Amino acid sequence: MINNIKRIGTEGEKKAKDFLISNNYKIIKTNFHSPYGEIDIIAQDGEILVFIEVKTRSSDLDSALNSISISKRKKISKTASYFLSKNDTFYDVFTRFDVIIILNSRTHTSLKHIKEAFVPTF
């Protein structure tokens, strides 16, 4: 069961990455880990550095969005700060926090990209 959940998540992240590349994003890092947590995808959208959380679900959009709790947002925010502190290439760049939701139903898969899904919380 856990391996199946991990596989579904990995497949969702690949779809999100492919979507971003096809929309001219430059992938900087995937599955970036820090002492605070993980960021699924770090990418550049022009001059903006984007930290992206990917959620793959078989249910609706709202449940996927609600699964990104305040606690999860804090972890993502702290991990983004950690990434920036370790990569002075990105010193003084604008940042954005996006969410990509992959919804898998029996008949099709859809992707929803929510730009500026949340403001960093520390």
pLDDT single digits (tens) 1-17: 557 667 767 888 999 99
Provide the b/e sequence for 31-50 (b: ≥16 CB within 10 Å).
ebebeebebbbbbbbeeebb
pLDDT of residue 121: 81
| 121 belongs to a structural domain | no
pLDDT of 83 above 80: yes
48-57 vs 38-45, strand pairing mode: antiparallel
| 50 belongs to a structural domain | yes
For 12-48, the pLDDT digits (tens) are 899 999 999 999 999 999 999 999 999 999 999 999 9
Which CATH number fits the domain that encloses residue 95?
Answer: 3.40.1350.10
- Residue from 1, 14, 43 nearest 111 by CA: 14
pLDDT of residue 2: 58
- Position 22, amino acid: S
d(CA 80, CA 52): 10
| 44 belongs to a structural domain | yes
At 96, the pLDDT band (50, 70, 90 cuts) reads very high
| 122 belongs to a structural domain | no
